[in-house]
């Protein structure tokens, strides 16, 4: 199970570049062309879920 740590969704329009600090949650060297979409979309990593690029508690 994963909680969300940061719930302040950015609410940006689809395909907008991520807001400041909105690093894509994929390591460099990815074979994929990343489509940023909504920078506020939540992902889960380990025990936590968060908005990529925003600080976690």
Binding site for another protein (CB under 8 A): 1-5, 7, 14-15, 24-35, 37-38, 41-49, 52, 57
Q: Please, what is the minimum distance in Å from the beta carbon of residue 28 to another protein?
A: 7
Tell me the closest approach of the beta carbon of residue 21 to another protein, in angstroms: 15
Q: In 10 A of CB 1, how many CB atoms?
A: 5
Distance of CA 46 to the CA centre of its chain: 14
CA atoms within 13 A on the CB side of 57: 9
Q: Of 20 and 27, which CB lies nearer to another protein in the complex structure?
A: 27
Q: How far is the CB of 54 from another protein (least distance, A)?
A: 12
Classify 10 as helix, strand or coil.
coil
């Amino acid at each position: 199970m994963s909680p969300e740590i940061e719930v302040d969704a950015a609410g940006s329009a689809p395909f907008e570049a991520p807001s400041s600090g909105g690093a894509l949650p994929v390591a460099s060297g990815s074979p994929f062309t990343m489509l940023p979409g909504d920078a506020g979309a939540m992902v889960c990593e380990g025990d936590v879920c968060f908005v990529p690029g925003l600080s976690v508690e």
